[in-house]
Amino acid sequence: MNKPYIELRNRHDFGETINTYFLFLKYNFKKYTSLYLRYNAVSIILSIIASYLLVTGFMGLASRDFRFGMNNDGDHTIYLIVGAVVLVLVLFVTALINYSFSSAYMAEYVNSSGEVQSKNVWQKIKHNLGTVILFIFLGIGLYIGYFIVSLIFAFIPLIGMLIQYGLSFLLAAFFGLSFISIFSDNKGLSSALSEGWSFTFSSFGKVILYGLVIGILNMMITMLIISIPGFIIGIYVYFSLESNVDLVTSIFANVIFTLGFAMFLLSFIYTQALSQIAYSVLYYNIYEEKNNVFLRNKIEQIGVNE
């Protein structure tokens, strides 16, 4: 049975926009996730490698007796450093893939009335790859600036925390709206940034509240995903301590902790992609509110048919 097409280009209020996001996931979750896994195969492999290096380095330092026969703490530190470098690479690659894939998928979904083809998604990504890379580097700079500002406001009780959260949601919305703007009409970097800025501040209250709700929902999804491996790790640690098993030198414990940390990374990566889906839904809603293009076309089409 064909899944119904969820029209995103409607003038919806806040509640209807959230509902549209859930409807989209309800009818497109399986197809979207299937393509997502194909595009993120490299990220999944890198996540597992980073998890192994970080867990092995940490447990090696904790045990002070590396199981491969090297008892120099410097070897453990190298594992931690290499793992951290790989983790940064994972975050960069996945940001590039997730924002590009989710934005290209949503643009193709709207343009094809729901008939998304993988090759068309890939063509959109290739066509806008240069702009995407520039935008990612710009995003890194923005988040470094956000981190510095957050440190300053961290010294202000309560109000500083509220400002930090507000800036976080504002930056995420600006980034997400600008990114989908690139793919919606193959815009250049400056045009996409201009439209993202305009959309963010023209619907400021809606954007901030939307970011808060989506952030909470994504946190719940992350907790749900990691709850199963977390439960398994908890049971394993409990019985290991009861049996006096040395966890820091246990190969099996290393495997369990590596898989658990990898699941956490992968859940974070996946919710990042879902966040861009959410901001794509918001983008088309605000675009229609400002430009009224889809409604005008429908009225004109009705006039032609009559």
In a domain, 271, yes or no: yes
Place of tokens 């999804």: 221
What's the rounded Cα separation, in Å, for the pair 51 and 241? 23
User: What was the pLDDT predicted at 139?
Assistant: 81
What's the rounded Cα separation, in Å, for the pair 208 and 200? 9
What's the rounded Cα separation, in Å, for the pair 146 and 285? 27
What's the rounded Cα separation, in Å, for the pair 53 and 56? 5
- What's the number of domains the chain is made of? 1
In a domain, 2, yes or no: no
In a domain, 4, yes or no: no
User: What was the pLDDT predicted at 183?
Assistant: 92
Amino acid at 286: I
Side-chain-facing half-sphere of 28: CA atoms under 13 Å:
24
Residue-wise pLDDT tens for the chain (306 aa)?
A: 567 888 888 888 888 899 999 999 889 988 999 988 888 887 788 888 888 877 777 776 656 544 444 454 555 677 677 777 777 777 777 778 888 899 999 999 998 888 888 889 989 988 888 888 888 888 888 888 888 888 888 788 778 788 888 888 888 889 899 999 999 888 888 899 999 999 998 888 888 889 888 888 888 877 887 787 778 888 877 777 777 766 666 777 778 888 888 888 888 888 888 999 999 999 999 998 888 777 677 676 665 555
In a domain, 234, yes or no: yes
Torsion sign, CA atoms 263, 266, 268, 271: negative
In a domain, 8, yes or no: no
User: What was the pLDDT predicted at 2?
Assistant: 64
Domain assignment of residue 268, given as a range: 14-305
User: What was the pLDDT predicted at 180?
Assistant: 92
How distant is the alpha carbon of residue 18 from its chain centre?
17
Return the structure tokens found at 157.
């009780």
Do the beta carbons of residue 48 and residue 262 sit within 8 Å? yes
In a domain, 83, yes or no: yes
User: What was the pLDDT predicted at 161?
Assistant: 80
In a domain, 226, yes or no: yes
* CB neighbour class for 246 (10 Å; exposed up to 12, middle 13-18, buried from 19): exposed
User: What was the pLDDT predicted at 70?
Assistant: 47
In a domain, 296, yes or no: yes
